[in-house]
Amino acid sequence: MDRIVRGAVIQATLCCDPGKSVNVVKKAMIEKHVELIKQAAKKGAQVVCLQELFYGPYFCAEQTTKWYDMTERIPDGPTTKMMQSLAKKHKMVIVVPMYEEDMTGVYYNTASVIDADGTYLGKFRKIHIPHCNPGFWEKFYFRPGNLGLPVFETRVGKVGVYICYDRHFPEGWRALGLAGAEIVFNPSATVAGLSEYLWKLEQPAAAANNIYYVGAINRPGMEKPWNIGEFYGTSYFANPRGQIIAEGSRSADDVVIADMDLGLIREVRNTWQFYRDRRPETYGPLTAP
């Protein structure tokens, strides 16, 4: 039986000089995204996911304590509260990737999930934290996530989240499928020359291997003064067969829309019996330190 859900993923260039105060940069990026969310709503989107650390630059290109001021409490901070109002107004599920303060000095790369009536459902904290060239110094900013791999019951279906570097670790994709995820969003910030050859390999493969929809989001454009590489956009949706069904611009702001038939998940799983034929009793080494 068809279950059509219209999804959107939003990619956005940096619209403010990061040399300005954190509050000025944050305000400009939030205002920009409010308008893009409105565009998604006008296109009929029922669920939308924003890009990683949506309200700022990819500041992990440097190691500067200034950016600690980007943190907010979740769900009690102002951005989550505002997004709850927008979700209710647009009758839209919203996945909001932010920089979370758990306590002073303990910060996470987090995505909150808000239902279409404005209810805060919970959050996912990025599990795998990179620290590598050409400028992904994330261990300076984030503690590894400690909330596991939750799947959220939303108005549109069961939604999971994985964040950026997490996508290179297949175990989490499968755990989300075992927990019932029908749509998994992966908000990212990744540059050409490092990961682009994997961008349309890993996530469609995850969609096919685990037989659900994947929404992959990457910010576009160059970000000065760091210029660590081109954030190459091309956000997309992949279906449970691993086929890309909608794709965004490489270099510009974009609201990428796809109609996802969640009924296709059952059809494909009844063909490819990956869940039936699993052999978890043989996978012990995967959890060995």
* Torsions phi, psi for 32 (to 5 deg): -60, -45
Sign of CA dihedral 223, 224, 226, 227: positive
Q: How far apart are CA 59 and CA 223, in angstroms?
A: 9
Q: How far apart are CA 125 and CA 149, in angstroms?
A: 9
- Of 49, 52, 101, 123, which one is the catalytic site residue? 52
For the chain, give percent helix, strand, coil, nearest 5. 30, 30, 40
Question: Would residue 27 show up in a list of annotated catalytic residues for this protein?
Answer: no
- Of 164, 182, 223, 247, which one is the catalytic site residue? 164
- Of 26, 32, 123, 126, which one is the catalytic site residue? 126
- CA 167 from centre of chain: 10
Beta strands in the chain (DSSP E): 4-11, 47-49, 93-103, 106-114, 120-125, 131-132, 136-137, 151-154, 157-161, 183-188, 213-218, 220-221, 231-232, 236-238, 244-247, 254-261
Can the peptide bond before residue 134 be classed as cis, meaning omega within 30 degrees of 0?
Answer: yes
Q: Are 173 and 165 in contact (CB under 8 A)?
A: no
SS3 per residue for 71-123: CECCCCCHHHHHHHHHHHHHCCEEEEEEEEEEECCEEEEEEEEECCCCCEEEE
Is 286 strand, coil or helix? helix
Question: Would residue 158 show up in a list of annotated catalytic residues for this protein?
Answer: no
As a whole number of Å, the end-to-end CA separation of the chain is 43
Question: Would residue 123 show up in a list of annotated catalytic residues for this protein?
Answer: no
Q: Are 257 and 5 in contact (CB under 8 A)?
A: no
Catalytic site residues? 52, 126, 164
